[in-house]
Each structure stands twice: as C-alpha cells, then as structure tokens.
Chain A
Amino acid sequence: MEATELARLQFALLAAVHFLFVLLTLGLGPVVAIFNTRWARATGPRAVVLGNATRFWGQIYLVNYALGIAAGIVLELQFGLHFPGLLDVAGEVFGAPLAVETLVAFFLESTLLGLWVFGWHLFPRGLHAAIFWAVVLTGYASAFAVMVANGFLRNPVGYVLEGPPDAQVASITDFGALVANPAALVSGLHVVGACLMAGGFVLVGVSAWHLRRVGGGERLPVSPDEDLWRRSMRAGIWTGLVGVLFVQAFGYAQFGYIEGGFGENAAVGVLLEVMMRSADLVFLGALVLPLLLIGGALFRMRGRRTLYAVLTALLPLPFLVGIAGWLVRELGRQPWVIQGVLRVDQVTSDQSARAVLASLVLLAGLMVTLAVLDWWVLTRLARAGTDRLVLGAAPADVLRDDGADDAVLLRFGPPQETR
C-alpha cells in the first residue's frame, strides 16, 4: 500500500475507535445528569436508589470517557502527522473550529468532570449535580465544534482560496456560514440522535440483563436494586426514542445538501442501505417499547425474560450502525479531503510508507487493544451492578479493600455517610 492509503487507514481506525467512545459519552451524559439531579433532591429510600443509579451509570460514563480522551488525543495529532497539507492549505478554516473545541469546550468539560469526580464529598449535592450538567453541555458543544470542522470538509462554505495556483491558502470570509453549514448543523443533530440511541440501548440492555435475574414480576419492585434497573430501563427507552426520532428526521434532512452524491466507492451504497434499514427497525421497536411501560407491563408480562435476553443481545447494534454511518460520511467524500477543493493525496505527508506502516501498527494496534480491554472492563462493571461501586465511595472503604493497615484507616476515619 502507498503511504496515502496507510495514512487513511490509520486515521479511519483511530477515528472509529474514538467515535465509539463518543457515542456513549454523549448518549449516557444526560441520563446521568438527570439521575444526579433527582438524587440531589431525594430523601429516604428513594435517595439510596437514585444515589446508586448516579454512581453506577457515572462510573460507566467515566471508564468510557477515560479511553475516549486518550483516543481523541491520538486522533488530534493525526492531522499534523499525516495530513500536514490540510493544515498548510486550510489550517485557518479547518483549524479554527478545532481550536475552539479544545480551547473552550473540551478544556471546560474535562476540568468540570475532574471536579465532579473528586469533589464528590466536597461540594453541596445541588452544586455537584449542576457541575455534571455543565459537563454534558460542554461535551455537546465540543461535539458540535468538531462537526463544524468536519462539515467544512464535506460541504465547504464561508471561505475563499487565495494565492498562487500551487500555494493556495484558504481563509474564512463568513463565520456565520461556517457555523450554520447544514453539513455541521443538520448532520450534528443526526449524530446527537445516534448518540442518544446508543445511550438508550446501553441503558436498556444492561437493565434487561439485571432484571432477568432480579425482576420479580410484581407490581412494585421488590428490592432497591430492582427499582434501580426498572428506572434505568425506563430512562433508556425514552432516551432511545428521542434518539431514533432525531436520527430519522435529521438523517433524511441531510440529503438536502449532499448534491455531489456519495463518491465512487461501491461500499457506501451498501452501508447506507444497512444503516437506513436498521434505523427503521429501531424506530419500530422504539414505538412499541414505551407502550409496554403502561401499567408496568414490561416488568410483569409473561415471556418478559425472553424479551430481556433479546434487548441485551441487541446492545452492540447502535454502535455498529454508528460506525456504518461514519464510514458513509467519510468514504462518500473520497477522493476529496475537502469536497471538490483538495484531494487527500495532495495533502499527505512525505513520510515513507514504511514509517506510516510502523506508526499504524503501533498506534492503531495500541488503541484497538486498549479499547477492547476497556469494553471488557465496562462489561464486567455493568454485570457487577451496584456491588462495590468506587465512584463516590468513602476512602476508608476503598483502602480497607486494598489491605490498608489501621494507622492509615484511622487517618481516614470511619466510613461516613455522604451527607
């Protein structure tokens, strides 16, 4: 393979891994925020259930986010490493939204998330919940900024090319057009839908797995844990429904600006078909499941255990469809890096094919390995449920599990009620 092909493959693998983490971060975030807010206001047994829900889903969110950042860092450097020509020609237009993303949105998001995790016992609970809402908002802002950069590549607007024919440089002429680009706005809302759909599938799939074990089929939940999984199931169904509505509405709306078609790659048509038919099926399911919530039928009806098994098995679906959608977007633009303006082979670095192959094996191999390990850990955490949650635990409890001696434990005091 040529260096260009290897650079593209490396970018594709790293972006796909990163995107899988993003889907869950954005999809789960609002649900954790809602659980956290309701916990902040709850008292008595309800507070225990909502507190555990916040800690359990918050921990899933964090372990997913952790590798998401790492994958994002590796990805951000790819432009400079392998496609320096893109920065040389369009650094100003393409780089501006990315600068806003890192300097503004992500800077805030990560700082706030750190405060949320490590200020757990330090801030009043209402403020603590507000911090997580800010994490979610800045996360969405961050994703939108990335879509502005990506939207420019698919549908370049608001810029002008200047300079001699062999050294043209793009500069921004219209910030408004760049931001209001339908390839950023409409496609951004489509991606938001995909994320919420993924969050919904995870909430529903994990809750179904637990309900298959603890679900008593009574009118009311028989244990705090069953209560937690029923609440999570309901949250997942509504999240998924909102998600699939966004996916469908803004998915079809995208055809409005895609005039150049989907390029020359035959795979794009197949992927597009798979994606659209899966979304149709999810749409049907998302219309039926809320009806089963009437009278708690989903938790009481005969044959529910079979349905739970199916719902758990379907968990990977939105992630596979999400990857298909992203491939359609990126492959559909080839051979262009900026549609109709700049080809990929014009911007690739002059590194040798061997050097690019070495970095491909190293970085893509590393990130895929870490991602698989992370997903495996997430699966185990999901199965463990509320048993031994570390997020929000008293330090003495955590240290006791690590075999700390009495002198250390004394310093951290007895396990305390978190307010």
Chain B
Amino acid sequence: MNASAWAVLLTVLVTGWVVLDGAVQGAGATLLQEHGQDGKERRREPAERRLVLGAVGPLLLPGEVWLIAALGVLIGVFPHAEADLLRAGYPVAITLVGSWALRDAGIWLRSRRPGNVWRDVWDVVLVVASITLAGSWGALLGVAWGSGLAALALGIAAVVVTRLHGDAVVAWRLRRSGPLPVVVTSVMVAAPVVGTALAAWPRLVHGTVSEPTMAALGVVALVVLPVVLALQVAAWWIVSRPLDSRDTLFF
C-alpha cells in the first residue's frame, strides 16, 4: 500500500468512527431529554433511558475502536502528521481524550449500582461528556484546517449533527421511523471528516514513513481488515434488528 492508499484507509477509519460512535455520542447527549411528539421537551424515565442506551449499546465497543485504529495508522504511517496535529491542537486533544474516558465510564458504570442517585449523577456526566466529546472532535478537525474559526464552527456543527444522528438511530431501532433518516444523518456526520481529509491530503501523504514499512504494514492490514469488516457487519446486523427480547441491556 502506498501513501494515498493509507490516507484513504485513514479517512475510512475516521469516517467509520463518526458514523458508529457518533450515534452513541448523540444518544448520550440526548439521554435525559426527549423531544415529544407535541413539540415539548420531556424528561426521560429510567426505563426509557435504558432502552435508548440498549438501542445504541451494541455500537459502543465495535464503534470506538475505529478511531483507535485510525490513531494507530497515524502513529505507524503518518507519525509526523500526528506529532504536528497534537502540537497545534494540544488543549483540544486533551479535552477529547478526557471526555472520551468520562463518556465511557458513564455508560459502563451507570447501571452497576442500585439506586437512583448513582445513576442520575452518571447520566449527567454522560450527557456533558458526550457533548464535549463530539464538540472537541469537531474542533480538532478545525485545527487540521489550521484555523480557530474553523475549529469553532466544526465543533458546533459536530455537536448538532451527532444529536440528530443519535436520535435517528434510536428511533430506527425502536421502529418509530425508517432507516432513511439514519442514512441522511450518517452522511451529515461523515461530511466534515471527508472534507478535512481532502483539504489536508497534500500535507498528509507528504509525511509518511518509508516505502518498505508502508508496504509491510499494508500486507498486515490487507490480511486482517476483511476479517474485521466481517465482524463489524455482524455487529451492525445486531443493531439493524428492532430492539427485542433477545437483546442485552447491559448499560
């Protein structure tokens, strides 16, 4: 695999992350409030929150690894790009990983103890961390554009579109709407990533590791990625079914 192929793979990995994990971020951000059919905001009861997280839950583990894999590609193939991006976006990157850790802790721990106080506190953490995670991700994309204004605009855009995306996936799994809104919101969350990749393309493909190392890593990637994709399809199959009595409501 050459530099362009690796840059394509990097873009695919990050796109996979925003589509899969974006649904979890959106569901987390809207966990406590629901936009009712009468147009009013309504607080979600504990059992409803459980259904919302049950709807997107199967996406958490298979989803967040896409960005970790993308980070691996950055370190292994584009080490200079990673070093440059993190130099420029230092506080944004710190916020991103911090909110990511908090979001995960919120999802995994909220249902591990009995009692409402424990859960309510974690749910507030989950909402705040999900919004921060989406926003700091958008801002980091803006840093790659090299502009503070772009960081602000993309940060706000990411918060808005992940909410829509999370809502669409949850509504689809509970069969309150069809799959079409999910396709639309998926494109919406993916667009900034693809746009940024195209803008940063020349700088990205310029700073790779040597050809033999790229080729060797490419062999490994080409062997394993089909297996990963098959397993990802299985995970997506779980999510494509309506939520029913064979699902696991772990979160």
Contacts and interface: CB of A to CB of B under 8 A. Distances in A.
Given A96-B76, A111-B235, A70 B47 contact: no
Contacts of B66: 107
Interface stretch (A84-92, A241-249, A251-259): A84-92
A391 B221 CA distance: 33
Nearest to A123: B234
Interface of B: 45-47, 50-51, 54, 57-62, 64-66, 68-69, 71-77, 79-80, 82-83, 85-87, 90-91, 93-94, 97-98, 100-102, 104-105, 107-109, 111-113, 209-210, 212-213, 216-217, 220-221, 224-225, 227-228, 231-232, 234-235, 238, 244-250
Contacts of B102: 366, 370
A373 B104 CA distance: 13
A121 B58 CA distance: 13
B47 A99 contact: no
**Interface of chain A: mostly helix, strand, loop or mixed:** helix
Interface string A49-77: 00000000000001100110111111011
Given A87-B82, A171-B210, A114 B100 contact: no
26 contacts: A70-B100, A73-B68, A73-B100, A77-B93, A77-B97, A81-B93, A91-B75, A95-B79, A96-B209, A100-B76, A103-B220, A110-B62, A110-B65, A114-B59, A114-B61, A115-B231, A118-B235, A118-B248, A118-B250, A119-B238, A355-B91, A362-B94, A373-B109, A377-B112, A402-B50, A411-B244
Identify the interface centre among A91, A113, A119, A380: most chain B CB within 10 Å of its CB: A91
Contacts of B228: 107-108, 111
A99 B225 CA distance: 13
A377 B118 CA distance: 11
Contacts of A392: 248
A311 interface: no
A59 B38 CA distance: 40
A404 B62 CA distance: 28
A112 interface: yes
Interface residues of A, number: 79
Contacts of A380: 112-113
A172 interface: yes
A351 B94 CA distance: 13
Interface centre among A62, A71, A399 (most CB of B within 10 A): A399
B228 to A, nearest CB: 5
Contacts of A398: 50, 249
B76 A99 contact: yes
B213 A103 contact: no
Given A114-B59, A362-B98, 14 more contacts: A66-B105, A66-B107, A74-B101, A76-B71, A77-B93, A81-B86, A81-B94, A87-B79, A114-B61, A115-B235, A117-B250, A121-B245, A396-B245, A399-B51
